[in-house]
Chain A
Amino acid sequence: MSTTTLPGSTVATLTVTTPSDREVQITRVFDAPRPMVFDCWTVPELLKSWLHGPDGWRLAICEIDLRVGGATRYVWQHRDGRSMGMSGAYREIVRPSRLVATELFDEDWTGGETVGTVIFAEQTGKTLLTQTVLYASSAARDSALGTGMTSGMAQSYAQLDAYLTSLQDAAKGAA
């Protein structure tokens, strides 16, 4: 596995890697203490102010029963009227360091249930967040990511992203 820091935000860098052929992992540092970041991932009123997803969508419904075995329900709505729902259940809750929950979209476009693990690590007053999504199969992960990439190709998308961006920048510079 390789990790490459992506160009982009000047505030903090987001990395996206594929640690195994069934997983996608995102890491990001937040300039806030762990309990505060943890709460932003588990309190519906807080989640509804940031977990909106792609442009045009907003998290309209967020219900959380924050207990092991407790249910979660998220519904996103697009400004054109479409909606997208996801249900799940908590497997592990360790405030402020760890959350594990199953997730399944109503339309099941991820090819079966996924398991999301979020780790909040202390980093000199800041919080290093590592979010790993484990898909039901490598085919499910690949199709969720938007390609039919063959399994066994544990390629770091982030590495390619950074590389391709540099190619494009170089091309712009040459033009």
Chain B
Amino acid sequence: MNQLDATFAALADPTRRAILARLIEGEASVMELAEPFAMSQPSISKHLKVLESAGLISRGRDAQRRPCRLEAKPLAEANDWLERYRKIWEGNFQRLDALLGAMQANKTAGDAEQ
């Protein structure tokens, strides 16, 4: 899997997205991350492993606590990719909006003359 594939695969799970949203506020231990979820620490740890191998988070060295922190770069790359696709069509459609507006104005003017 390349980086983008790994990012999207990791983001496919709602718990992992919630974990990332929590980490935007700052680093947290497994225990702190498990708190809001009705989930055991081992299940949270599994999700953290997926996020870590996708490069979306890193773990601190502190052997006891091993705090998790967000790695922003892969997320930003995934977002850039989606933005490109959306922007192409949004650009096309905004031009189409303008064209339709002009056509309707012409039609109204034409109808008024008759």
Contacts and interface: CB of A to CB of B under 8 A. Distances in A.
Of A14, A53, A153, the most chain B CB neighbours within 10 A belong to A14
Contacts of B9: 150, 153
Counting contact residues on chain B (CB < 8 A from A), the size range is: 35 or more
Contacts of B83: 161
Contact of B78 (A40, A52, A54, A160): A160
Interface string A146-174: 11111001010110110111011011001
Interface of B is mostly: helix
Interface string B75-99: 1101101111111111111111111
Contact of B99 (A8, A14, A16, A49): A49
A54 B91 contact: yes
A160 B11 contact: yes
Given A8-B90, A165-B79, A155 B85 contact: no
Nearest to B2: A148
Interface string A130-141: 000000000000
Given A32-B103, A157-B82, A12 B93 contact: yes
Given A153-B9, A160-B82, A167-B75, A9 B103 contact: no
A171 B72 contact: yes
Contacts of B95: 49-50, 52
A171 B73 CA distance: 13
Interface stretch (B19-27, B29-37, B46-54): B19-27
A146 B84 contact: yes
Nearest to B82: A161
B100 A146 contact: no
B97 A11 contact: yes
A11 B98 CA distance: 11
B86 A32 contact: no
A37 B99 CA distance: 10
Given A54-B91, A149-B5, 6 more contacts: A8-B86, A9-B94, A40-B99, A50-B96, A153-B8, A160-B8
Interface of B: 1-2, 4-5, 8-9, 11-12, 17, 20-21, 24-25, 72, 75-76, 78-79, 81-101, 103-104, 107
By Cβ-Cβ distance, the 7 closest A-B pairs, closest first, are: A50-B95, A32-B100, A161-B82, A164-B79, A50-B96, A147-B4, A54-B88
